[in-house]
Structure formats: structure tokens, C-alpha cells
Amino acid sequence: MARILLGVTGGIAAYKACELVRLLVKAGHDVIPLVTPGAERFVRAETFTALARRPAGEDVYLHLTRADLLAVAPLTANTLARLAHGLADSVLTEAALAHRGPVVLAPAMNPRMWASPATQANAATLRARGAVLVGPAEGDTAEGEQGVGRMAEPAAIAEAIEAALRDRAPGALRGRTVLVTAGGTREPIDAVRYVGNRSSGRMGVALAAEARRRGATVTLVAANLAVPAPAGVTVVAAPTAADLARETLARAAATDIVLMAAAVADYRPVGARTDKRPKDVASWVVELEPTQDVLATIGEQRTDAQVIVGFAADHGDPGLERARAKRERKRCDLIVFNDVARADIGFDTPDNEVTVVGAAGDVAIPKGPKERVAAAILDEAERLLRERS
């Protein structure tokens, strides 16, 4: 998750910036729209605030110097010139001057304005300073002219933003492979009923997104996610414990960091019916049998160069003790302990608070959004990986 300042300036393409906000929010980013008065002639600032799920009337100045990336889409010839020359006459241009970090710009203008020597010189100045320019693309303009000047599509701008965020943390996990399991498995009783659990997959999805952001090649083995998978990761569907075992074990040996965040069923119904059991008045006794212990199998097959991270959902201090024993028994490097006795964290909530149990002791990660907790867990895993290579 990144904090993104999104400038919107006064071109017809301002309406397309709505879709860009939606894509960035969906990818888990914190978007702060900075809308120029010129852009407000096309789309009201409130539209962007609502799409970014930000409180109305928020003081954006608080965020200006704390952003991971600045994007401007659409970028008018006017604001492009102002950025090139360092003017500071709007919230957006002030923010641009104060910003330290990647800049992604999506110019949009009449083809003759884009081709003008002044605009081309300004664009060259910004490129030379490290700004990434996406587009403009060729096609029909709003005035019915043909040529290069159309704003790039929102999906292409979102992709350029993701790429710029990945490049921001060079070396962190670039060239590394990360496997994450997420969600909760469902074990069929018959053709329509199952035994499941309350895991939403949020924690695993946050881990996959963070590993991707750090440049890793990420595979997400997904068991019935209640939240969308992040962009840029390979998603492998694994609805049952058997599917998850098969898909994870097929990939784990070739992976640098394995994060087993999924809630995998410990038991599954014996002899699930392939049809639907009709409703009647008789009681129905379902016998459960143990499933394969995927984490223990990974522990048996692991190499010393790998970092294996297990998760333990348990109750209170005795649960923490059991997590410590589990780490040694299953040959994991780290166990992330979640106290499920608390209703405000853990299963199906946006926040978490965990203890990362390692050979060198425990690291308490304070309560916060799962995205922040994911970053802290990956910091620990990354540190171990560095020590081994």
C-alpha cells in the first residue's frame, strides 16, 4: 500500500481520472486527490474525494510531504509548464515542489499544444529530472482532431504507478520469489454444503501486495478470498485443503520466502457426498478426518536458504507458548501469532496486531491496518533472507 498524491488538472480527460482513482483504491493505495480549479470546471473535487474514500473537507496539507508517489492525470500544458519551472501557485504545484519521490505524469492536450517546442522542452526538463511520462497517446481528441495528445488509459497509468512504486525500493526483494497462501479453505460435506472458517484472506493479500511492491515475483495461493487479489501477482485458486496442499507443495521448494497465512482446515468431512443430501428430519452425523499438515511438510522439505513463515491463530499467553513450540516442531523461521481471543483484530477485520516469534525472540507488532502489519512481517522475513545470502 502506498500513499499517492493524485493531481487532476483542467482537461476534458479529467473524467477519466475518476477511473484511475478507483483502480488505485482497489489496489489498496491511499489516494489524496489534488484537484486544480481548472479541473473543477469538468469534475467536482468532491467526486474524487468520494472515490478516494476520504473525509470531505480534509486538510490535504497534512499529506503533502508524506507521499510515496505523485501522479498527475490528466496533466494540462499549463500545469506541465508550471511543474517544469517550479511554480507554486496551487496546492498541486506546491505539493510537487515539496515532494521527494517518484513522479508519474499523464499529459493530455490538443496535438498542436503537445507538439509545440515550449511543451516539448518542458516535458524534456521533467523527464531529465526523473519524472515518468505515460503517453500522450495517438487518436481522436475531444475537438475532433487526430494526433498525439490523448491521455493514456487509466489502466496504463495505474500500471506505470505500480512500476514506479516497485522501482522505489530497489534491491529489497527484487529477483526474489515469494509464495503466499491466503483465505480460508472450504471442505465439502456434500455438493452444496461445506465446513469452513472465518478467514477473509486480507492478511495474506496484504502480504502479497507488499512483497510485490518490494519487487518480488509473487504467487498467491488463494482459498476463497473475500477481498480482491492485488495486481501484479500470480493467483492460483485453491478452494480446499487438498488443493492448497497440492498447489503450495508444488511451488514451495523453488521459493525464497513462503508465507503460510491461509486458514487451512485441520479436518475435513469423511466421504463427502457428490450430490446434495435432501433435507429430512433425521439428524446427520458428519465424521471429520485430519487433513495434510502443509506447513510441517514444507518444514521437512525446506532448505536452509529459504525463509518459512507460519501463522498461528490461538488464545492468549498459552497460545503464544504453543506458537513457540509450533515454530520448532514445524521447522519454521518465524511464526506470526494472532490472538483470536480478541474481537478487534484477526479474522475478517481490517486491523491486526501480532507477535512474530523467531529463534532470536519475539517481535511485537502494534495494532494497525493489515497492510502496515504485512510490511512489518516482511521486514522480519527479509532480514533473515539477507543474513543467509
Ligand X SMILES: Cc1cc2nc3c(=O)[nH]c(=O)nc-3n(C[C@H](O)[C@H](O)[C@H](O)COP(=O)(O)O)c2cc1C
Which of 47, 76, 181, 291 touches ligand X (CB under 6 A)? 76
Please confirm, yes or no, whether 338 is among the known catalytic residues: no
Among 21, 33, 36, 298, binds ligand X (CB under 6 A): 36
39 binds ligand X (CB under 6 A): yes
* Residue 135 or 239 having the CB closest to ligand X: 135
Q: How far apart are CA 239 and CA 262, in angstroms?
A: 11
Label each residue of 216-278 as H, E or C.
Answer: CEEEEEEECCCCCCCCCCEEEECCCHHHHHHHHHHHHCCCCEEEECCECCCEEECCCCCCCCC
Closer CB to ligand X, 38 or 369, in the complex: 38
Q: Which is nearer to ligand X, 157 or 356 (CB)?
A: 157
Does 119 engage in binding with ligand X (CB under 6 A)?
Answer: no
* Pick from 373, 144, 166, 89: nearest CA to 259: 373
From candidates 6, 20, 23, 77, binder to ligand X by CB under 6 A: 77
Is 116 a binding residue for ligand X by CB under 6 A? The answer is no
Q: Which residue in the set 15, 25, 38, 172 belongs to the binding site for ligand X (CB under 6 A)?
A: 38
CB of 39 to ligand X, least distance (A): 5
Query: 12 or 320, CB closer to ligand X?
Result: 12
Q: Beta strand 187-188 with 194-195: parallel, antiparallel or unpaired?
A: antiparallel
Q: What are phi and psi of 214, to 5 degrees?
A: -85, 5
Residue 79 or residue 200: which is nearer to ligand X going by CB? Answer: 79
Distant-in-sequence contacts of 152-158, Cβ < 8 A, 24+ apart = 152/73, 152/106, 153/16, 154/16, 154/17, 154/19, 154/20, 154/23, 154/73, 155/23, 157/20, 157/71, 157/73, 157/104, 157/106, 158/20, 158/23, 158/24, 158/27, 158/231
Dist CA 326 CA 201 (whole Å): 22
299 near ligand X, judged by CB under 6 A: no
Q: Which of the following is catalytic: 197, 224, 338, 352?
A: 197
Query: Nearer Cβ to ligand X, position 87 or 235?
Result: 87
79 near ligand X, rule: CB under 6 A:
yes
Burial class, 284, CB count within 10 angstroms (exposed 0-12 / middle 13-18 / buried 19+):
exposed
Site membership for ligand X, residue 11 (CB under 6 A):
yes
Provide the grid cell at 359: 529463534
Segment interacting with ligand X, rule: CB under 6 A, options 48-56, 74-82, 164-172, 220-228:
74-82
Minimum distance, C-beta of residue 154 to ligand X, in the bound complex (Å): 15
Least distance between ligand X and beta carbon 347 (Å): 46
Active site residues: 197
Q: Which residues are near ligand X by CB under 6 A?
A: 9-12, 36, 38-39, 76-79, 108-109, 113
